[in-house]
């Protein structure tokens, strides 16, 4: 995967703004259950999918998909003893994965995973490369979420600072005050990002320098830009659908996936035993330099895929995950850039 270029150029043309038709070349990589969030390793060889529990799958987990061959492997997660920050250690038997983020440094790659199983925490895994076959995931530590909080997605800056949407009790506020974006660092622990008091934060990404975050509000159907440590106001853009996860495209645009319809309809799917829900879904590509929609794609549910939650650039394609289904959609609609 090509690295992002900073600052971004306005590379996307207005002609792409029309609603995209369904692509005849769309395909589904099957054998991937509830791939709610997706991220790729820096070399582009592996796509990591957070496989959520639900719809007949009792146990969440992490799936590793070889991008070229499209072979799917479930990561074998081992029980691990406690640490000073996370004394209970790690128990894969109660692991319930949600959002994912990846940080790459000269010393290696670190995967951060939102976990709702047994505790509300961001779990930290080291990716151990293999000459052949998928990388191994070795649990290193966890960062416990504030009491009463409920995490959704996680993002990480180049220096290791974390950002996460909190859909539960707001920190340092009276009982009943809900929702905010939180940031965490080794030195400062958890604190609120100023100006982010909203209830339905979902996916988010951060620029490598940690200077800006882009975050989706699910029920508001919008993406917000926040400029950190500066006096320039942020901007916002309407997605038209329930905005779920956010990812960078190869050229620095924002890729957002989500569901059309009403929140209660999607919640009913999430809490149901169904293995596939008939949810209309959409994608938008947002030019992050201008905060305008450069491509919009809307698609009816199909027999093998619906209810998109995450769109990841893999070459010129997009790989699209879902909260409830048995595969990842591969499409060229609003492609990778």
91 found inside a domain: no
Say if strands 61-66 and 97-105 run parallel, antiparallel, or are unpaired.
Answer: unpaired
Please tell me the predicted confidence (pLDDT) of residue 231.
67
Whether residue 316 lies inside any domain: the answer is yes
Q: Is residue 315 part of a domain?
A: yes
Q: Write the burial class of residue 14 (CB in 10 Å: 0-12 exposed, 13-18 middle, 19+ buried).
A: exposed
CA distance 202 to 37: 11
- Paired with 223 in beta bridges are 216, 237
Give the separation between CA 72 and CA 46, rounded to whole angstroms: 10
Closest to 166 in 3D by CA, of 119, 120, 112: 120
Question: Is residue 257 in some structural domain?
Answer: yes
Cα 92 from Cα 243, distance rounded (Å) = 30
- Say which residues have a Cβ less than 8 Å from residue 263's Cβ, sequence separation at least 6: 218, 219, 242
* Residue 297: inside a domain: yes
Please count the residues of the chain: 337
Tens-level pLDDT at each residue, the chain (337 residues): 333 333 333 333 333 333 444 455 799 999 999 999 999 999 999 999 999 999 888 888 999 999 999 999 999 999 999 999 999 999 999 999 999 999 999 999 999 999 999 999 999 999 998 667 899 999 999 999 999 999 999 999 999 999 999 999 999 999 999 999 999 999 999 999 999 999 899 999 999 889 999 999 999 999 999 999 876 778 999 999 999 999 999 999 999 999 999 999 999 998 899 899 999 999 999 999 999 999 999 999 999 999 999 999 999 999 999 999 999 999 999 987 7
* Tally of domains within the chain: 1
Q: If you write DSSP's letter for every residue of 41-58 in order, what string do you get? A: -TTSSEEEEEE--BTTB-
Q: Domain for residue 322, yes or no?
A: yes
Q: Determine, yes or no, domain membership for 337.
A: yes
Answer yes or no: is 81 within a domain: no
The b-or-e profile of 175-195 (16+ CB within 10 A means b, else e) is eeebbbbbbbeeeeebebbee
Alpha helices in the chain (DSSP H): 263-270
Instruction: Locate 320 and state its tokens.
Output: 């699209």
pLDDT at 131: 63
In DSSP terms, 274 is beta-bridged to none
Sequence-distant (6+) residues with CB within 8 A of 328 are: 28, 29, 32, 35, 38, 47, 49, 65, 319, 320, 321, 322
Predicted structure pTM score: 0.92
Residue among 120, 152, 118, 130 nearest 76 (CA): 130
CB 29 within 8 A of CB 302: no
The strand pairing partners of 47, in sequence order, are 40, 65
Boundaries of domain holding 308: 1-30+252-337
Find the distance separating the first CA and the last CA of the chain, reported in whole Å: 11
* Bridging pattern class, strands 308-314 and 292-299: unpaired
| CB proximity list for 16: less than 8 A, separation 6 or greater | 285, 294, 295, 334
């Amino acid at each position: 995967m090509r690295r992002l270029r900073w600052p971004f150029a306005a590379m996307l043309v207005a002609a792409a703004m029309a609603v995209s038709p369904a692509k005849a070349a769309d395909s589904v990589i099957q054998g991937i259950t509830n791939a709610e969030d997706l991220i790729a390793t820096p070399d582009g060889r592996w796509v990591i999918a957070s496989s959520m529990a639900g719809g007949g799958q009792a146990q969440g987990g992490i799936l590793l998909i070889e991008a070229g061959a499209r072979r799917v492997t479930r990561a074998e997660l081992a029980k691990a003893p406690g640490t000073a920050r996370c004394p209970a250690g790690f128990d894969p038997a109660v692991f319930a994965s949600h959002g994912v983020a990846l940080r790459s440094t000269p010393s290696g790659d670190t995967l951060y995973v939102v976990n709702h199983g047994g505790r509300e925490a961001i779990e930290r895994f080291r990716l151990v490369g293999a000459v052949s076959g998928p990388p191994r995931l070795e649990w290193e530590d966890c960062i416990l979420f504030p009491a009463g909080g409920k995490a959704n997605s996680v993002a990480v800056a180049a220096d290791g600072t974390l950002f996460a949407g909190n859909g539960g009790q707001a920190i340092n506020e009276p009982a009943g005050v809900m929702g905010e974006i939180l940031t965490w660092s080794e030195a400062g622990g958890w604190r609120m990002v100023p100006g982010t008091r909203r209830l339905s934060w979902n996916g988010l990404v951060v620029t490598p320098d940690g200077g800006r975050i882009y975050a989706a509000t699910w029920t508001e159907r919008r993406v917000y830009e926040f400029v950190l440590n500066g006096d320039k106001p942020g901007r916002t853009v309407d997605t038209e659908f329930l905005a779920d996860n956010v990812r960078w495209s190869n050229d620095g645009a924002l890729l957002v996936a989500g569901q059309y319809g009403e929140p209660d309809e999607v919640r009913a799917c999430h809490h149901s035993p169904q293995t596939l829900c008939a949810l209309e879904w959409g994608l938008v590509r947002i030019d992050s330099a201008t905060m305008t929609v450069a491509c919009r794609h809307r698609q009816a549910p199909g027999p093998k895929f619906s209810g998109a939650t995450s769109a990841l650039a893999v070459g010129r394609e997009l790989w699209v995950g879902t909260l409830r289904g048995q595969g990842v959609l591969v499409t060229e609609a609003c492609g990778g850039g």
